[in-house]
Structure 1
Amino acid sequence: MILRTFGWSFGVTVVGLLIALLYDGPTGLALVAVLAVLEISLSFDNAVVNAKVLDRMSAFWQKIFLTVGIAIAVFGMRLVFPLLIVGITAKLNPVQAFDLALNDSSRYHQLMNDAYPMIAAFGGMFLMMLFLDFVFEERAEKWLPWVERPLARIGKLDQLSVVVAGGSLAFVSWLSAEDPGQVMIAGVLGMITYILVNGLGELFSEASDDDEDEDGAEEGAGGRSGPSSLALATGKAGFFLFLYLEVLDASFSFDGVIGAFAISTDPIVIALGLGIGAMYIRSLTVFLVRKGTLHEYVYLEHGAHWAIGALAVCMLVSIGHHVPEWITGGLGAGLIIAAFASSVVRNRGEGGGAPAETPGEDGKKLHSSNV
């Protein structure tokens, strides 16, 4: 099970460390190893949330996320994205930005830091909306009832998550940003991206469920169901869930990409280290889905979303003040560990956890055998 799930990650680790050794000797090898650990520690909560969304996707879109999605995560966000940010900031083409990264790392680092307030505003607002939508929704299971109950109660006010997120963005822009206009624009774009991608995913997911119900009724009446409508609706729902996951992964990776510059400014070393870490996050996502861990340890999802909220706050604070990476990583890991421990205590109190293969919210079993 472990080898099957983490096999590609082990292989990429060996290849990546070998490339680092050939590229920059023992120093490069050590830096890549440290960066990989940094990425895993900062993005562990990402794996838990990814697994929850992946559980809702068909086997086909699960495979797309674990193949095409890996390429986007490893090469897109960890190598191409920093170059694009520097290129846009300095008005350079990608080739010039890559040359700048290799030959003038201090200037490259400075340009990335200059762009960070906009990056943090975009990613922080996306994650803030995700967190608020979770805590403002009424749920049967409550990990922290003393705070989750009142939040769910006031969450009945329509669009409260938009009000809270928008107010937080305006306050931070006014209080901390050197250029409030740019920070506001980036933050609003982050909110729009979340609302659009998440809304489209839910829309087509509901359409898929409606089509499935109609087809089942037709079959029960002795009619034949049409094959195209359900496949098309499911495909659209899977596509937008895939987009949602990619944007979510990008938002999680912002702090890791920026924080990596505290360890190395070489784009090759950063891409290798963060790429290895991203592979393990993907493998951990698959492991959680296959084992049904989120159904067995019910508070893990709560802990992950509280970790997302903590990360969103850290990103907003970092617009005006530096927040050490060990704080963001430690908060996320600590909340998830606490949620896991609470789940274990709950399961023991009930005489054992739920079986690994538990129907999801939509009544379907996990696609774990097809991942």
Structure 2
Amino acid sequence: MILKTYGWSFGVTVLGLVLAGWYGLSAHLGLGQALLLVVILCILEISLSFDNAVVNATILERMSEFWQKIFLSVGIIIAVFGMRLVFPIVLVSATTGLSPIETVNLALERGDPETPGSYGYELQEAHPTIASFGGMFLLMLFLNFIFGEKENHWLGFIERPLEKVGKLESVQVIVAGIVLFVAAETFAADHAQTVLASGLAGVLTYLVVNGLGELFNVEEHLEHQDEHASGAVGAEGHAVPGERSSGPTQVAKATGKAAFFLFLYLEVLDASFSFDGVIGAFAVTTDPIIIAIGLGVGAMYIRSMTVHLVREGTLQQYRFLENGALWAIGALATILIISIEVHVPEVVTGLIGLAFIIAALISSIAYNRKHPEVDSHVGVEHAEAH
């Protein structure tokens, strides 16, 4: 099980260390220093993105095994080369007016990130744009959770009243719009226009990708009902009354267009989570190649952890874990928006998310001890599913 789930991660780790060693020697960085930096960055990425694995698992469990493999293989290429290497270069190129080649040369100079004109400095200057887009995307995800109907209530004294407020149509968009306006007028006095534009782009990206995913998910479930009347599954993932369901896992397995848009949704979500890691990496090193390798290896482990959570049925065994992860997203969204103007240490970001996850896990264990019949029922369902 471990090798099957983490085999890709182990392979990428070996490849990453070999590449880092070769690059360290060829770039006169030193073999030992290059390997050490990659290990540190890998640990940084895992610590900052553990909550990302839990959230991703809630979405990945709805996808077929084929698309889970796509997420683990093709998705990691997007995560490593797209978000950890190409995206920062494109962003610096767009904000400075330099060509991509000039930006790469600037990055390879490994200048001090505190020095104006250096790659690290220019990336820091683009932070309001990054933070606004990522913060608003994650905020929409959190608001959709907090105002939506939930099977389990963890912080019930907060979640239940807000669930009732969620019956107001488009309340998520209204709240997000208010937050974005306030942030642009207070936290981002010097970058108000940029923050508004990138924040709006974050909200629209969430609405489009999430909306398309739900649309095709519903359509494919309806087609499934028509073609398999004897064992259909309803559009909301529940067995159709009067019809025989073939098992508890079929309600979660999206394929085709639905799975494709869920895949896109996961990639945008991963991008939003990765912003703080990319920026925080410059506190360790300014070398873009070492950053891409270190964060890429860490991102691979996060993906393997996501698959592990799905295959082990962890989210079913620990009923409040998903709630805790989404509260962690709300905290990260808040931190990103605040960081538009105020620097928030990366360790704070990582610890807050981890604290929510641990608290939700402890609450889940306590609940299972008080209700052993629920815990055993979930275990039986998961065993039948596999």
TM-score scaled by structure 1? 0.91
- SS where residue 257 of structure 1 aligns? helix
Query: Following TM superposition, by how much is the alpha carbon of 1:139 offset from its aligned partner in structure 2, in angstroms?
Result: 1.8
Question: Which residue number in structure 2 is paired with residue 321 of structure 1?
Answer: 342
Q: How does 1:51-200 map to 2 (within 5 A)?
A: 51-106=57-112, 107-177=118-188, 178-200=190-212
Contact 2:68 2:307 in 1 (8 A): no
Give the secondary structure class of the aligned counterpart of 1:105: coil
Q: After superposition, what is the alpha-carbon deviation per residue over 1:124-149, rounded to whole angstroms, capped at 9, x for unaligned?
A: 00000000100111223111111111
- 1:166 is matched by which residue type in structure 2? G
In structure 1, the residue matched to 2:39 is 33
Q: Does 1:298 align with 2:309?
A: no
Aligned 1:328-339 pairs, distance under 5 A = 328-339=349-360
Q: Any conservation in 1 of the 2:38–2:290 contact (CA below 8 Å)?
A: yes
**AA of the residue aligned to 2:341:** G
Contact (CA 8 Å) 2:135, 2:337: kept in 1 or not?
A: yes
- Work out whether residues 291 and 356 of structure 1, in 8 Å CA contact, stay in contact via their aligned partners in 2: no
Deviation at 1:59, TM superposition (A): 2.3
| TM-superposed deviation, 1:278 | 0.2
Distance 2:173 2:194 in 1: 19
| CA distance, structure 1, for counterparts of residue 262 and residue 7 of structure 2 | 26
C-alpha deviations, 1:308-336, integer Å up to 9, x for none?
00000000000010000011100001100
Q: Classify the secondary structure of the residue corresponding to 1:301.
A: helix
What amino acid sits opposite 2:156 in the alignment?
Answer: P
Matched letter for residue 328 of structure 2: A
Q: Distance in 2 between matches of 1:156 and 1:281?
A: 35
- Aligned 8 A contact 1:292 1:357 in 2: no
Mapped to 1, the partners of 2:267 and 2:308 lie a distance apart of: 19
Q: Give the structure 2 partner of residue 201 of structure 1.
A: 213
Residue 62 of structure 1 deviates from its aligned partner by 1.7
Q: Tell me which residue corresponds to 1:267.
A: 288
* Structure 1 residues not aligned, in runs of 5+: 221-232, 360-364
In 2, the alpha carbon distance for the partners of 1:287 and 1:125 equals 29
- Check the 8 A contact 2:93/2:99 in 1, yes or no: yes
**Distance change (3 Å), C-alpha of 1:214 and 1:351:** same
SS at match of 2:68: helix
In 2, Cα distance between equivalents of 1:179 and 1:305:
28
Task: Write the letter of the residue equivalent to 1:47.
Answer: A
Q: In the alignment, is the contact (CA less than 8 A) between 1:125 and 1:169 conserved in 2?
A: yes
One-letter code of the match for 1:165? Answer: A
RMSD value, Cα: 1.8
Q: Aligned equivalents of 1:356 and 1:247: distance in 2?
A: 32
2:226 to 187, 203, 214: 214
The whole-number CA distance in structure 1 between the counterparts of 2:379 and 2:290 is 39
Classify the secondary structure of the residue corresponding to 2:282: helix
Aligned 8 A contact 1:101 1:266 in 2: yes
Give the conservation status (yes or no) of the 8 Å contact 1:73–1:250: yes
Per the normalisation by structure 2, the TM-score is: 0.87
Counterpart of 1:92 in 2: which secondary structure?
A: coil
Q: Displacement of 1:93 after TM fit? A: 2.5
Matched residue, 1:311: 332
Query: For residue 145 of structure 1, what is the amino acid of its counterpart?
Result: G
8 Å contact kept, 1:35–1:273: yes
Instruction: Give distance in 2, aligned partners of 1:218 and 1:326.
Output: 53
Separation in 1 of the partners of 2:227 and 2:91? 48
Question: What's the counterpart of residue 21 of structure 2?
Answer: 21
Partner Cα distance (1:68, 1:276) in 2? 14
**Mapped partners of 1:140, 1:133: distance in 2:** 14
Task: Provide structure 2 residue ranges, at least 5 long, that are not aligned to the other structure.
Answer: 113-117, 233-253
C-alpha separation in 1, matches of 2:125 and 2:173: 27
Structure-2 residue corresponding to 1:281 = 302
Give the secondary-structure state (helix, strand or coil) at the position aligned to 1:43. helix
Count of residue correspondences: 350
Aligned equivalent of 1:362: none
Q: Aligned partners of 1:85 and 1:253: how far apart in 2?
A: 14
